[in-house]
Structure 1
Amino acid sequence: MSDDDFLRVTDVSKWYGEEQVLHDVSFEMDRGDVTVLIGPSGSGKSTMLRCVNRLAEAQEGSILLDGEEVLSPDLDVDELRREVGMVFQGFNLFAHLTAVGNVALGPRRVLGLSETEARERAEDQLERVGLADQLDSYPAELSGGQQQRVGIARALAMEPKLMLFDEPTSALDPELIGEVLEVMHGLVDEGMTMLVVTHEMSFARAVADEIVFLDDGRVVERGPPEQLFERPEEERTGRFLERIASHD
């Protein structure tokens, strides 16, 4: 482990009441890396993701982002969330705002951009995710895939240095998944640093620099995709991937 890791997660543990949901989780990423967290439902993937931007509070361990301790009680959490974009399973768009209005809201209210500047930035990001023709559409007029792409554009409009994706395609109909993954592929090609929770194994295999397999809140195995998919060192990893493959 180098001293200049962009994100370094060390021995992170978390409890909900008496239930421990993360057990000494550790991994690290360089700037521009794509790390994918995989594992069965309830394995702690989404909780780990949420600890990175303090939507969940880890009780033990360390999360260093660009040299700053995320878990410090003195951290400005609002500043952290300006720098760490997050895309959720649900789209969480404001129904009364158009696509461009949803995307412009953060830059205007949080970053203090003028209305004109915020709209220009929102238009740029919507074009980036392939929605230049839907600027003035309301969420109810958009498909699920389009709504999720608005959600990605909204996160990108804050110009984050790290993007978190929490199963961004799990709420979508199968035929809409591809358009969201295509946008994510584009971000990978641009060099965006991304920490992704997904069940889309072909996507994980194609884009990840490292895959971290979690089970029961523990890191069972981690490594490059070709190792985990072709030569897993742990029997538990192999069983999980076989079961996932049988459902594809």
Structure 2
Amino acid sequence: MTDDGFLRVSEVSKWYGDEQVLDEVSFGMDRGDVTVLIGPSGSGKSTMLRCVNRLAEAQEGSITLDGEEVLSPDTDVDELRREVGMVFQSFNLFAHLTAVGNVALGPRRVLGLSEDAARDRAADQLERVGLADQLDSYPAELSGGQQQRVGIARALAMEPKLMLFDEPTSALDPELIGEVLEVMRGLVDDGMTMLVVTHEMSFARAVADEVVFLDDGRVVERGPPEQLFERPERDRTARFLDRIASHE
């Protein structure tokens, strides 16, 4: 990393009512970086992710993406979400549309592509995630791992600057997790800029440029994976990693 200039999160705080869920969170990343947010449930990881594309509204701080202030009232939120793809825990596919129909919907309705051009783009992205043979399958005909890969293809079809992944494997059976992580590793190899929330520590260790450990809405520690996993500087980080390791 150089100057964390592509995405910069600076002293972001958020409350739900009286409950503070983010407390002056700061980190940054350059174009092409992979940053992984880890921490216990309820630590604010998913909320932080959602603040980046304004699915949740931070009350304090600054988030800049490619030099533009995300939190400004003048920000076009629809344009922001066209530039920031998001993959959720749940697949959120339209049951009445095929895989290619789900992926083509955004390019056609939002980007204004013709039906043929949108289908071609969708087919390309489904091939990219290993589903070239499932274009005309409906979600109910696909495994959970395949449905999540359709979700990834749907986000990629909008040609985003940044991809957000919110625990993309947490709803999957263990034997299906690997196929989704393999697709994500392919995106890393392609140079996609990715901000990832995950409990898959081996994945974080293998692909992250930086790991950010959140607890109770605060950044406890951040650093390259080889440092944070092998030589954590904070006792709280070490305790969390020990507990995770004992359950693997």
- Tell me the distance in 1 between the aligned counterparts of 2:188 and 2:242: 26
Identity of aligned residues (%): 91
> Secondary structure in 1 aligned to 2:28?
strand
Residue deviations 1:193-229 (CA, integer Å, cap 9, x gap):
0000000000000000000000000000000001111
- Tell me the distance in 2 between the aligned counterparts of 1:8 and 1:178: 30
Residue deviations 1:146-189 (CA, integer Å, cap 9, x gap):
00000000000000000000000000000000000000000000
Residue deviations 1:51-79 (CA, integer Å, cap 9, x gap):
00000000000000000000000100000
TM-superposed CA distance for 1:24, in Å, is 0.2
Q: Is the 8 A contact 2:3 2:30 kept in 1?
A: no
Q: Aligned pair in 2 of structure 1 residues 178, 223: CA closer, same or farther (>3 Å)? A: same
Q: Aligned pair in 2 of structure 1 residues 199, 4: CA closer, same or farther (>3 Å)? A: closer
- Tell me the distance in 2 between the aligned counterparts of 1:238 and 1:20: 24
Residue deviations 1:33-56 (CA, integer Å, cap 9, x gap):
000000000000000000000000
5+ residue gaps, structure 1, are none
> Secondary structure in 2 aligned to 1:187?
helix
> Secondary structure in 2 aligned to 1:176?
helix
Q: Aligned pair in 2 of structure 1 residues 184, 4: CA closer, same or farther (>3 Å)? A: closer
- Tell me the distance in 2 between the aligned counterparts of 1:59 and 1:2: 28
Q: Is the 8 A contact 2:103 2:153 kept in 1?
A: yes
TM-superposed CA distance for 1:88, in Å, is 0.1
- Tell me the distance in 2 between the aligned counterparts of 1:122 and 1:230: 41
5+ residue gaps, structure 2, are none
TM-superposed CA distance for 1:4, in Å, is 6.7
TM-superposed CA distance for 1:139, in Å, is 0.1
Residue deviations 1:79-114 (CA, integer Å, cap 9, x gap):
000000000000000000000000000000000000
- Tell me the distance in 1 between the aligned counterparts of 2:215 and 2:111: 38
Match of 1:49 in 2: 49
- Tell me the distance in 2 between the aligned counterparts of 1:116 and 1:187: 25
TM-superposed CA distance for 1:2, in Å, is 6.6
- Tell me the distance in 2 between the aligned counterparts of 1:228 and 1:67: 29
Aligned residue pairs, count: 248
> Secondary structure in 2 aligned to 1:13?
strand
Match of 2:117 in 1: 117
Match of 1:197 in 2: 197
- Tell me the distance in 2 between the aligned counterparts of 1:4 and 1:143: 38
TM-superposed CA distance for 1:140, in Å, is 0.1
- Tell me the distance in 1 between the aligned counterparts of 2:153 and 2:85: 10
> Secondary structure in 1 aligned to 2:10?
strand
> Secondary structure in 2 aligned to 1:120?
helix
- Tell me the distance in 1 between the aligned counterparts of 2:4 and 2:240: 33
